[in-house]
């Protein structure tokens, strides 16, 4: 197998399938791929959730992560697959384990295997920096210690995502698939139900008083651009990358985001001299990753909301 044959330095005329294309990150990935000239296939259960993408040039194909045959049909004729679909509910209750495992572990395995059966040799898998043991004492890199998903450390989401990335690497090596994994931090963007929606609920309170540590947040558009960067650079094959954006004081992040969420609470942050920091240096070098300033990202979100509302 020639590595060059499956490197996509020029995405024009190439076909890239995106699982979970109707989700928040998936929409951004589709748009970044379209901007790069790719033909984009959105692999979803319900195309109506992001019907506006069809008008922008995305072809939808129905499939389910638990149905390998449907995935194989969806990937037919594609040059690459972005394995983006996942269940993301940040809860500790172990009753949620089975659903997370089905989507994140079994689903990822099905995607890698279906891609190989469809003749697709290039896959980019969206993982998370939640697979690491978080620490306030050291900067996290791609080689930092990880949770043990088998012991369900970190709760259903983080544990199953750790297992899913391990399985992605195992299946890719066994099947001869050229894999790259990306590990974003707290992702925010338009149509965001995982981060901005809870923030919006908090901001309904007249006053918020909270201790504020540094935590990494990344704009979904920057993660999407990193997907394009990975597909354009064969040096990314076999590599994992942190695409975690910038660490912000959580209170400052809330204050800036409040402008998108209607009436503003009075946020009284008590900054603490500690927090989580992540190195994005490898992604900056190989993928051209750029974490745009917070106000620039929030401005882009506001424009997106105005365009699709």
The set of catalytic residues is 161
Decide: 29 and 84 in contact? Cβ < 8 Å: yes
SS3 208: strand
Decide: 126 and 182 in contact? Cβ < 8 Å: yes
Give strand pairing partners of 83. 125
Cα 115 to chain centroid, rounded: 19
CA–CA separation, 232 vs 246, rounded Å? Answer: 24
CA–CA separation, 152 vs 160, rounded Å? Answer: 8
- The DSSP bridge pattern shows strands 122-126 and 207-219 to be unpaired
H or E element that contains 303: helix 294-308
Alpha helices in 76-122 (DSSP H): 97-100, 107-117
Rg (CA), the chain: 19
Decide: 280 and 216 in contact? Cβ < 8 Å: no
CA–CA separation, 207 vs 202, rounded Å? Answer: 9
Decide: 218 and 243 in contact? Cβ < 8 Å: yes
Written as six digits, the tokens of 157 are 């989401």
Distant-in-sequence, close-in-space partners of 112: CB < 8 Å, separation ≥ 6: 83, 123, 125, 167, 168, 171, 172, 175, 177, 179
């Amino acid at each position: 197998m020639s590595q060059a044959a499956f490197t996509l330095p020029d995405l024009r005329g190439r076909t890239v399938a995106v699982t979970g294309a109707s989700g928040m990150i998936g929409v951004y990935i589709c748009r970044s791929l379209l901007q790069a000239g790719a033909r984009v296939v959105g692999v979803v259960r319900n195309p109506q959730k992001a019907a506006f993408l069809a008008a922008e040039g995305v072809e939808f194909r129905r499939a389910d992560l638990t149905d390998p045959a449907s995935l194989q049909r969806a990937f037919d004729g594609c040059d690459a697959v972005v394995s983006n679909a996942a269940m993301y509910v940040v809860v500790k209750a172990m009753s949620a384990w089975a659903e997370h495992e089905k989507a994140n572990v079994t689903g990822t395995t099905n995607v890698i295997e279906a891609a190989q059966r469809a003749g697709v040799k290039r896959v980019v898998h969206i993982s998370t920096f939640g697979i690491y043991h978080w620490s306030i004492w050291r900067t996290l890199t791609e080689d930092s210690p990880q949770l043990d998903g088998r012991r369900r450390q970190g709760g259903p989401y983080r544990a199953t995502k750790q297992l899913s990335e391990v399985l992605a690497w195992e299946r890719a090596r066994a099947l001869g698939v050229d894999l790259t994994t990306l590990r974003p931090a707290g992702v925010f963007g338009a149509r965001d139900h995982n981060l901005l929606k809870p923030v919006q609920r908090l901001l309904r309170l007249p006053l918020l008083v909270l201790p504020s540590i540094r935590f990494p947040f990344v704009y979904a558009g920057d993660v999407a651009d990193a997907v394009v960067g990975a597909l354009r650079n064969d040096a990314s094959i076999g590599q994992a990358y942190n695409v975690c954006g910038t660490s912000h004081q959580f209170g400052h992040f809330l204050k800036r985001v409040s402008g998108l969420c209607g009436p503003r609470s009075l946020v009284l942050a008590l900054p603490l001299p500690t927090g989580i920091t992540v190195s994005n240096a490898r992604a900056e070098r190989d993928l051209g990753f750029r974490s745009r300033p917070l106000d620039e990202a929030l401005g882009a979100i506001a424009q997106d909301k105005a365009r699709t509302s």
